[in-house]
């Protein structure tokens, strides 16, 4: 089966928008999604890149916000700006790897994205992460504790390092085989690559 590798960080709103589209895309293309939680801040540091939301050109930064609103409207995705943004996602992304290791990632993923981009949760705080997960029927404190363990820390570091080595400079980034695609607005190219069209 064809595979889409999805490198993301929960703190990236465009990763959230991409995530909302991926299941239907994967179904149409007969592909599976490989979720690759990485630390976007680590990628930025390694590559010299920075978030568009700290763009020094004021008019350009305003346009980024306008474009985000347009995408939200276009996709009809539930969205609310998180008042705590930007959030340090180090603990959160480690906890994502813990959830993968505990085989609860699917439920974790849905709960966290919902809390981050519709619920305004302060997900840089471990107690908030645990509360969100517990309210979703998961063992929140247990998963958060596992996220502080060496296995989760090493997994996040390894995934982030791999992303940088493969040319990733931001989120969301997708791979179909060795072909890389950056941005929520490149999913058409991803689908064409999966179905044998041009764009690979």
Catalytically annotated residues:
12
Cα–Cα distance for residue pair 67/190, rounded to 1 Å: 21
Q: How far is CA 170 from CA 93, 125, 131, 173, in A?
A: 15, 23, 29, 7
Distance (Å, whole) CA 161 – CA 167: 10
Contact 108, 142 (CB under 8 A): no
Which regions of 18-177 does DSSP assign to beta strands (E)? 31-37, 173-176
């Amino acid at each position: 089966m064809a595979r889409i590798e999805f490198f993301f960080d929960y703190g990236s709103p465009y990763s959230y928008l991409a995530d909302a589209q991926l299941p239907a895309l994967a179904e149409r293309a007969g592909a599976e999604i490989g979720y690759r939680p990485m630390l976007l801040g680590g990628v930025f540091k390694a590559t010299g890149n920075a978030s568009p939301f700290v763009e020094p050109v004021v008019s350009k930064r305003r346009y980024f916000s306008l474009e985000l609103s347009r995408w939200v409207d276009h996709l009809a995705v539930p969205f609310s700006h998180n008042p705590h943004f930007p959030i340090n996602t180090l603990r959160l992304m480690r906890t994502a790897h813990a959830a993968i290791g505990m085989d609860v990632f699917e439920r974790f993923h849905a709960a966290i994205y919902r809390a981050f981009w519709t619920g305004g949760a302060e997900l840089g705080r471990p107690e908030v992460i645990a509360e969100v997960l517990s309210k979703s029927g998961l063992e929140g404190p247990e998963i958060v504790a596992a996220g502080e363990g060496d296995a989760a820390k090493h997994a996040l570091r390894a995934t982030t390092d791999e992303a940088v080595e493969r040319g990733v400079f931001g989120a969301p980034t997708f791979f179909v085989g060795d072909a890389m695609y950056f941005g929520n607005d490149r999913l058409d190219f991803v689908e064409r690559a999966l179905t044998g069209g041009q764009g690979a």
